[in-house]
């Protein structure tokens, strides 16, 4: 039975690599944000705006425990999932965990396009965003680094790079 959790910062490539990897390996793919949105019939953006981050984290924890029992699955978590409650310990107990590690420059470039649907970043200027990413990444690193494996996720910008990363991840996980 295979159960993999991808953890790491927003735009670190959890969904991009996770979805492609699952397809290649015949695993079910779950993106936690999409799963939450489907279950609660609201976007993550709406949940943050209407109920607040605290409520989102409770929902996220609950959904993590739901998908954490699925079998033969690749789960792309949200950027904060590993950093709240005992979520990272739970994931380590339930399956293989991979920290998708990317440089600040990579994250910043990807998030310039991706920030619109990310409530923690959407209202920030470029300068504020770079500062925020730098500080938040530092404070989250102790959680992310509890993953069993670390994967360099800087190179996911083309089909060729994604295919190469699938192979590298497969070898890392010995699958
Ligand atoms: C968050 C990351 C997002 C989403 C929410 C909060 C975070 O997921 O769960 O906006 O705290 O880092 P992605 O990592 O998929 O962007």
Q: Is 31 in the pocket of ligand 1 (CB under 6 A)?
A: no
78 Cβ inside 6 Å of ligand 1: yes
Among 2-6, 115-119, 133-137, the range scoring the smallest mean pLDDT is: 115-119
* Residue 151 maps to a domain: yes
What's residue 149's pLDDT?
A: 98
Reported as a pLDDT band with limits 50, 70 and 90, residue 129 is: very high
| CA 16 / ligand 1 centre spacing (Å) | 14
* Per-residue pLDDT, 135: 98
Rounded to the nearest whole angstrom, what is the distance from the C-alpha of residue 10 to the centroid of ligand 1? 6
Does residue 154 lie within any of the structural domains? yes
Is residue 175 in a domain?
no
Structural domains of the chain, count: 1
Instruction: Place 146 in a pLDDT band, splitting at 50, 70 and 90.
Output: very high
Whether residue 173 lies inside any domain: the answer is no
Q: How confident is the model at residue 170 (pLDDT cuts 50, 70, 90)?
A: very high
For residue 126, what pLDDT is reported?
Answer: 94
Domain containing residue 75: CATH number: 3.40.50.300
Whether residue 119 has its Cβ less than 6 Å from ligand 1: yes
Which range marks the domain in which residue 129 is found? Answer: 3-167
For the segment 138-145, the average pLDDT, to the nearest whole number, is 98
User: Is residue 174 included in any domain, yes or no?
Assistant: no
**Could you read off the pLDDT of 92-106 as tens digits, one per residue?**
999 999 999 999 999
Task: Please give the average per-residue pLDDT across 152-174, as a whole number.
Answer: 98
To the nearest whole percent, how much of the chain has pLDDT over 90? 99
Take atom 12 of ligand 1 and give the residue whose Cα is closest. 79
User: Residue 87 domain-assigned?
Assistant: yes
Cα(80) to centroid(ligand 1), Å: 6
Contact 100, 7 (CB under 8 A): yes
Q: How far is the CA of 170 from the centre of ligand 1 (A)?
A: 25
Per-residue model confidence (pLDDT) at position 57: 98
**Domain membership flag for residue 32:** yes
In a domain, 119, yes or no: yes
pLDDT grade for 125, boundaries at 50, 70 and 90: very high
**Shortest CA distance to 94 belongs to which of 29, 1, 3?**
3
Tokens of 160: 């060729």
Confidence bin at 78 (pLDDT 50/70/90): very high
User: pLDDT of 24-66, one tens digit each?
Assistant: 999 999 999 999 999 999 999 999 999 999 999 999 999 999 9
Q: What is the dihedral of CA 63, 68, 72, 73, to 10 degrees?
A: 40
Q: What is the mean pLDDT of the chain?
A: 97
How large is the C-alpha radius of gyration of the chain?
15
């Amino acid at each position: 039975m295979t159960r993999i959790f991808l953890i790491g910062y927003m735009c670190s490539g959890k969904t991009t690599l996770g979805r492609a990897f699952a397809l290649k390996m015949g695993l079910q793919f779950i993106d936690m944000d999409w799963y939450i949105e489907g279950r609660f019939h609201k976007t993550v953006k709406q949940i943050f705006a209407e109920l607040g981050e605290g409520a989102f984290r409770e929902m996220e924890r609950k959904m993590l425990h739901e998908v954490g029992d699925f079998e033969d699955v690749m789960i792309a978590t949200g950027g904060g999932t590993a950093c709240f409650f005992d979520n990272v310990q739970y994931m380590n107990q339930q399956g293989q965990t991979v920290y998708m590690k990317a440089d600040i420059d990579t994250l910043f470039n990807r998030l310039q396009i991706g920030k619109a649907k990310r409530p923690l970043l959407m209202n920030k200027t470029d300068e504020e965003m770079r500062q925020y990413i730098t500080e938040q990444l530092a404070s989250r690193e102790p959680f992310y680094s509890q993953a069993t494996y670390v994967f360099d996720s800087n190179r996911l910008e083309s089909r060729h790079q994604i295919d190469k990363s699938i192979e590298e991840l497969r070898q890392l996980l010995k699958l």
